[in-house]
Structures are given as structure tokens and as C-alpha cells.
Amino acid sequence: MTPFGARLRALRAERGVTLKRLAEGLQVSAAYLSALEHGRRGAPSAGLVHQVNEFFGLIWDEADELARLARLSHPRVTVNTAGLTPEQTALANRLAQAIHRLTPEAVAALHAVLDSTAQQPKPRLRRPAHSAGRAARGV
């Protein structure tokens, strides 16, 4: 099951919506939605995510979260390690080989490591106050 599939199933359960009813509302097949929920189909399109948001009345943070989960829901991931170090390539391969054996705690720990190393946005360069004043005066 993918993160998007798990959230979609939870939304249906919370709101008492059957797979058939949701499929009719989104104008897709129930088989397609079932495949999405179970991770047998690729990540949903942005258009489908928007339709799901509208169907369930999700706005703001909930809608953003569903879109984020959709982006993380590719059931067959490919990692391009060309140009990376041998250690990074080995890590990608080890993860691919061992992921099915990881405990929920180990998965959470790996997420925490990745979250702590996420690149921070570059700070915007600000012009010193005295430079701004000069520019305004044409100096």
C-alpha cells in the first residue's frame, strides 16, 4: 500500500464512502481506485488528487498533505546513482534489498535521518541598509 492509498482508504472509512461510490464521483473505475489503494498503480495524477480533495471537501493543509502523499506514492521506485559515490550507490542497493525486512521503528529512524539532512532553502541576500539608501538617492 502506498501513502496516498492508505490515506484514501482512511478518508473513505472516516466518511463511510464505498469504493464504488467514490469511483462514480471521480468518474474512474473502482478497480483503478482499488489498485491505487493497494499500490498496484503508479502515483495518481495531480488532477485526480484535486478531484479527491473536492470530493471529500479537503482544503488547505489537508489538501496539501494529500498532494504530498501522492508525490511519495510511486510503488516502483528507481534510484539513479550515476555520479554518486560508491558508498551512496551501495546504500541505495542495500536499501532496495532490505526494505521489506525493516521494522516500523527502523523506517521511522531512517525518515528522521533523512529529515534532519534535508537541504534548507538558501537565505535571501539582503542589501545592507546603507546601500539601499544610496541607491534611492542615485549614488
pLDDT in tens, 26-80: 999 999 999 999 999 989 999 999 999 999 999 999 999 999 999 999 888 889 9
Taking Cα atoms as reference points, which of 103, 106, 49, 99 lies closest to residue 73?
49
With vertex at residue 19, the alpha carbon angle to CA 47 and CA 29, rounded to the nearest 5 degrees, is 55
- For the stretch 117-138, pLDDT in tens is 877 665 566 655 554 555 555 5
SS (H, E, C) 4-31: HHHHHHHHHHHHCCCHHHHHHHHCCCHH
Residue 53 CB contacts under 8 Å (≥ 6 apart), including other chains: 59, 62, 63, 66, 67
Half-sphere exposure of 94 (CA within 13 A, CB side): 6
- The answer, as to whether pTM is greater than 0.85, is no
The answer, yes or no, to whether residue 111 has pLDDT greater than 70, is yes
